[in-house]
Chain A
């Protein structure tokens, strides 16, 4: 007898089965995704984030009293990291996570020097433990992306640097690390990172690792202006320390201009944020070491 029945009143299915896949491969991260919690800090430095065209279009304020050097102080959106079927991933779950920040264009007034009175955008993607208070000084996080170094009318990729954001080494506050500026023009537009987390949640040093490199766009054969694939890790005060906590995937935008600006032509940045994920929520890590 079939497990299926279309007779009115009968139970149609006798097993719950598996969830159907809802995602596959790359997924685009949108700040306006209804699953996201957004912490915009009242729009201290950023006026709007609009995604009606399929791109993320960020308009910075023409007047503000200064940003910070840390992406999580800016306009941040975070959502629970989920498998293809929509299952929640925790820090105790084995998972793979690849992210890509894709730079498109910039316009308006922008500069790479501090106190130049012009916007200096940066944007990252990462994972964190706090689901809503992203800029909390104890929010263990690991993010990666682009710190723009263009000025005047230069293209968005000009002299761009990679940036990695995390807590300070003593765990007490936000911090970031940046690479050297790439020389010349026509530099990287694609910031590709791979995250590793666990399985040790006792926060031994290097329980979270990031690999990343930066590539030109597809039309430039994805060539690499930078010298080397970069590896980094978090120490015991910075790394993730609770297996039961949901992994929050975030994207963050900040203005690194710490001085005030006024009367500018609004800086507008267009970018795309991508990620792909797989996890084993049923079997977890395994690894008993016994037959």
Chain B
């Protein structure tokens, strides 16, 4: 280094400054979000002090159990230095899905079963297009509102142009804190191969109960077992939040109250933009 006027002060480019540390909150109203709700699950969504507040629609005639059909909020996934994460680069992703509260009518017949979570996909828009998009996601679905009992809900692209989902049985009371760990690559994109993509989820109680893990489901593992359903893109990874109803249609226009869900969605990521390496030589 030199501080003599006219001299070049640094001879190395150095390392880019950190923009993020650890957890990041997913904000569905952030400037870079693309929001889609083709099946009109939600009336509105707000961010109140870091909490996502989703008000469900008064009526919904679409009965689906597949997360890509829900209201989705999509952002390009970036690393802690603000650089884009691409599918042909190694990254490690942890998500946290946290149920806070719900009001209104839900989890009964002809009422929405509140479902929410995060996932990754290769389309920036048109998330529910199973022919062009590939995805995998994980989150919660509240099967019993009395005790805040949840199931873990997972979804993925399947069969090249279709989708699949996995649904655990209802776990115990207060199972509103869920974590998912993703496995992606290196055999994705141009080098795509089955069994290179998966997610595993666990759930349990909140911090004031020492995060007591629900033991009814040891862990919920889900992977993509078909070559034609693996991420085809080498490019940008997109992170998406999904909020909707696991099945059911409803119509509160003649009575009842559309539910309001409050939750937090967070994620943590590490990434190497220089690639996987791994020449084996």
Residues of A with C-beta under 8 A to B272: 24-26, 276
Residues of A with C-beta under 8 A to B155: none
Once bound together, how far apart are the Cα atoms of A283 and B268, in whole Å?
12
Q: Which residue of A lies closest to B220 (CB)?
A: A231
Do the beta carbons of A222 and B49 come within 8 Å of each other? no
Do the beta carbons of A215 and B187 come within 8 Å of each other? yes
Do the beta carbons of B92 and A97 come within 8 Å of each other? yes
Do the beta carbons of A217 and B206 come within 8 Å of each other? no
Q: Which residue of B lies closest to A224 (CB)?
A: B193
Interface string of B170-200 (1 = CB under 8 A from A): 0000101101011101110011011111101
Kindly identify, within residues 235 to 272 of chain B, every residue whose CB is under 8 Å from any CB belonging to chain A: 262, 264, 266, 268-272
B273 on the A face (CB < 8 A): yes
Q: Provide a sorted-by-A list of 5 A–B residue pairs whose CB atoms are within 8 angstroms.
A: A25-B90, A26-B272, A94-B96, A199-B179, A209-B200
Residues of B with C-beta under 8 A to A190: 186, 276, 278, 280
Once bound together, how far apart are the Cα atoms of A202 and B113, in whole Å?
31
Residues of B with C-beta under 8 A to A226: 195
Stretch from B56-64, B66-74, B159-167, B210-218 that touches the partner: B210-218
Do the beta carbons of B49 and A233 come within 8 Å of each other? no
Once bound together, how far apart are the Cα atoms of A218 and B185, in whole Å?
12
Do the beta carbons of B191 and A221 come within 8 Å of each other? yes
Do the beta carbons of A229 and B278 come within 8 Å of each other? no
Residues of chain A touching chain B, judged by Cβ–Cβ distance below 8 Å, are: 18, 20-21, 24-26, 84, 94-98, 100, 102-105, 157, 189-190, 192, 194, 196, 198-202, 204-207, 209, 211, 213, 215-219, 221-224, 226-229, 231, 233, 274, 276-283, 285-291
Q: A205-B218, A223-B193, A231-B198 are in contact. Are A94 and B22 (CB under 8 A)?
A: yes
Scoring A100, A222, A274, A279 by chain B CB atoms within 10 A of each residue's CB, the highest score goes to: A222
Once bound together, how far apart are the Cα atoms of A286 and B206, in whole Å?
9
Do the beta carbons of A104 and B281 come within 8 Å of each other? yes
Interface string of B197-232 (1 = CB under 8 A from A): 110101010111011110100110101010000000
Checking B90, B193, B225 against A26 with a beta-carbon cut-off of 8 angstroms, the contacting residue is B90
Do the beta carbons of B92 and A276 come within 8 Å of each other? yes
Residues of B with C-beta under 8 A to A282: 21-22
Do the beta carbons of A274 and B219 come within 8 Å of each other? no
With A24-B81, A218-B280, A219-B279 known, 11 other A-B pairs at CB within 8 A are: A94-B22, A194-B92, A202-B213, A204-B213, A205-B215, A215-B186, A217-B280, A222-B278, A281-B22, A286-B264, A288-B208
Do the beta carbons of B280 and A211 come within 8 Å of each other? no
Q: A25-B270, A215-B186, A229-B183 are in contact. Are A198 and B211 (CB under 8 A)?
A: yes
Q: Which residue of B lies closest to A280 (CB)?
A: B22
Once bound together, how far apart are the Cα atoms of A153 and B185, in whole Å?
31
Stretch from B35-43, B97-105, B120-128, B138-146 that touches the partner: B97-105
User: 5 tightest A-B contacts by CB?
Assistant: A280-B22, A25-B272, A217-B280, A289-B206, A278-B270
Do the beta carbons of B100 and A228 come within 8 Å of each other? no
Once bound together, how far apart are the Cα atoms of A291 and B51, in whole Å?
7
Once bound together, how far apart are the Cα atoms of A138 and B100, in whole Å?
39
Name the distance in Å between A150's Cβ and chain B's nearest Cβ: 14
Do the beta carbons of A222 and B204 come within 8 Å of each other? no
Residues of B with C-beta under 8 A to A102: 277-278, 280
Do the beta carbons of B207 and A286 come within 8 Å of each other? yes
Residues of A with C-beta under 8 A to B90: 25-26, 98, 100, 276
Residues of A with C-beta under 8 A to B15: 20-21, 24
Kindly identify, within residues 1 to 47 of chain B, every residue whose CB is under 8 Å from any CB belonging to chain A: 15, 17-18, 21-23
Do the beta carbons of A206 and B22 come within 8 Å of each other? no
Residues of A with C-beta under 8 A to B269: 96, 278
Once bound together, how far apart are the Cα atoms of A224 and B191, in whole Å?
10
Once bound together, how far apart are the Cα atoms of A64 and B81, in whole Å?
49
Residues of A with C-beta under 8 A to B77: none
Residues of A with C-beta under 8 A to B49: 291
Name the distance in Å between A274's Cβ and chain B's nearest Cβ: 7
Name the distance in Å between A57's Cβ and chain B's nearest Cβ: 14
Checking B22, B94, B212 against A196 with a beta-carbon cut-off of 8 angstroms, the contacting residue is B94
Do the beta carbons of A287 and B277 come within 8 Å of each other? no
Interface string of B80-99 (1 = CB under 8 A from A): 11000000001011101011
Do the beta carbons of A204 and B223 come within 8 Å of each other? no
Q: Which residue of B lies closest to A25 (CB)?
A: B272
Checking A205, A206, A218, A278 against B276 with a beta-carbon cut-off of 8 angstroms, the contacting residue is A218
Residues of A with C-beta under 8 A to B195: 213, 224, 226-229
Do the beta carbons of A84 and B181 come within 8 Å of each other? no
Do the beta carbons of B280 and A104 come within 8 Å of each other? yes
Scoring B193, B262, B264 by chain A CB atoms within 10 A of each residue's CB, the highest score goes to: B193
Scoring A190, A229, A281 by chain B CB atoms within 10 A of each residue's CB, the highest score goes to: A229
Q: A26-B277, A200-B211, A204-B215 are in contact. Are A96 and B93 (CB under 8 A)?
A: yes
Do the beta carbons of A96 and B268 come within 8 Å of each other? yes
